[in-house]
Amino acid sequence: MLDTLTNWALCAPSARYLAVTDLLCLLGAVASLIAALDHGRRARAGQSSRSPAARLAVLLMMVATGTILFSVYHRWREVNHFPSQTMGEVIVMFSVGLLLAMVALHWALGIFQRGPGWAVIDDLLVAMVLVGVYYSDAHAGSLSSAQRDLPPALQSLWFAPHIVALIFSYATMGIAALICLVYFCLRFWSGALLGGQTRASQWLILIGLVLVPFSQIVTLPVFLLSAPVFLWLARSARLPGREQLAKLEKELEEVSFRAFAVGFPFLTAGLWMGAFWAQEAWANYWGWDSKENSALITWLVYVLYLHLRMLGRFRGERAMGVLMAGALSVFITFQVFGYLPDSQKSLHRYTDESVAPVEGQMTPGAATAGQDQEN
């Protein structure tokens, strides 16, 4: 971001708008944290009015959504195709999904309207999403931005809707996972300070937040940063009682399910469109490619969550644990997949700059044309 701002005239328009987006996200995150402190003070005083800082944070988030969409538009013009071929472009699209999903869920879920204290949770959720967008864009900026020609298999009408549906679902499921993270941090620290939790439950939460691979980059910082907050609340006698916290946990679980309910149809639609696209490109709806299998596992984890919650009546820790497992599967599919051994044989390695398109990544017509030229 700083490089772009200091070399403004030399940067492409897409990079400029992305730098402005990152700046807005940082300012919005700061405003959200100030709003959380203000809402905490208002809740203790019995006031229900919204903090001006919260309104500013939401405004900055909405403006950031507009600027990042301008960035995608200009990137589209720069590369002459929908900008989701390189990993850097895909990560920027994920940032777009995060902002769009957070704006939609902010109003659809109405977390800040649920009662005293809920505005604080809404502020913290907005702050985490904005910080996540900033770091996602920073990671995208560290990757190559060189233009690459689209392989023939990607030159399809399915390309944009398939990517958009999956990315939006990943972003929405990510926000649902952040709500789960708030839930488990609340449950662990309240159990440690107020009691009421079994030792096995506390250890399971601790292991899940600290030791589970890959998820640590998100869970560990939030878990550690929440510790001084809960300690301060306990020492100042401001920590709510066990009954109030139990009610809060129950409502958090309900909110996370609603966020999931927004994202799951998009995940399902993305898989269906991918199957139709595969039939068009490779004459096979499902080839049991490792990327396809990873996406299918993610979908099945969420189907299991839906089944257990609706029919098995899973609630609380058990339901939230399955939902977090789904988010971990999303992260593995989206980011870790390329590092797995079996991924080297996948036909879905379009974002890997070291891989040139092979015949299996071409449409049947393009592959046949190539063979005719050789003959």
* pLDDT, position 339: 67
* pLDDT, position 235: 81
* pLDDT, position 71: 95
Chain centroid to Cα 51, Å, comes to 26
* pLDDT, position 264: 96
* pLDDT, position 229: 82
* pLDDT, position 369: 43
* pLDDT, position 228: 86
* pLDDT, position 372: 44
* pLDDT, position 364: 44
* pLDDT, position 354: 55
Low-confidence ranges of the chain (pLDDT < 50): 357-375
pTM of the full structure: 0.86
Report the alpha-carbon distance of residue 262 to residue 55 in Å, rounded: 24
* pLDDT, position 51: 85
The domain segmentation of the chain, as residue ranges, is 1-129
* pLDDT, position 149: 74
